[in-house]
Chain A
Amino acid sequence: KAGVTQTPRYLIKTRGQQVTLSCSPISGHRSVSWYQQTPGQGLQFLFEYFSETQRNKGNFPGRFSGRQFSNSRSEMNVSTLELGDSALYLCASSFQGGGHNEKLFFGSGTQLSVL
């Protein structure tokens, strides 16, 4: 079956703009998580959605937001972009997000460059 699909693959924006990234989870998966990956900070958790509800949120400013649709697809939005937002944004999905028999499946990510 198809894996986790993230679009677009690359984005270039300028400071002050906003951006929307999209994630389509594996069919049947209802949990979607987002992570920011940078060389300095590594992988940092942004938020997790399950059945259209935000279940967990990381320590990021309010400029970072997300949502999940009824088909489990998720979007994250970053408003008023700053240079430090340049990063690889990864999406991961799982059936329910937890449990011994579950695991996360990651997408290839969206590489965001803010100029």
Chain B
Amino acid sequence: AQSVSQHNHHVILSEAASLELGCNYSYGGTVNLFWYVQYPGQHLQLLLKYFSGDPLVKGIKGFEAEFIKSKFSFNLRKPSVQWSDTAEYFCAVNLGPSGGSQGNLIFGKGTKLSVKP
């Protein structure tokens, strides 16, 4: 069965440190890739997404992610984190051609990020 793996369960960083959260998926066909974020007490919300084209995608709040097809990876990065980035981050994939239903997502188990001020 298709799956999404997020390597780190909990990451603790100091403000201004660089961030990279790993995400790997297991599926050989066409995928659409997403990162969602859940800030404390808030809803899950979309951070960024990749459907096709430039494998380096930029999202909100200075986040970016790079799709490396050969590695089945879609890692999330931010050059300098802030205390307000403290949240749980979920990688997700949607199987099928671009434009397929986003309602059917396979999520990773999430990575909690704690940023110390």
Contact = CB atoms under 8 A, between A and B. Distances in A.
Interface residues of B, number: 22
A45 B51 contact: no
Q: Chain A binding site: helix, strand, loop or mixed by DSSP?
A: strand
Given A43-B90, A90-B44, A98 B101 contact: yes
Interface residues on A, range: 20 to 34
Contacts, number: 72
A104 B103 contact: yes
Q: Quick one: which of A41, A59, A102 has the most chain B CB within 10 A?
A: A102
Interface string A84-109: 00000010101001111011111110
A42 B110 contact: yes
Interface string B41-73: 001111001010000000000000000000000
Interface of B: 1, 43-46, 49, 51, 90, 92, 98-110
Interface of A: 3-4, 31-33, 35, 41-45, 48, 50, 55-56, 58-59, 90, 92, 94, 97-100, 102-108
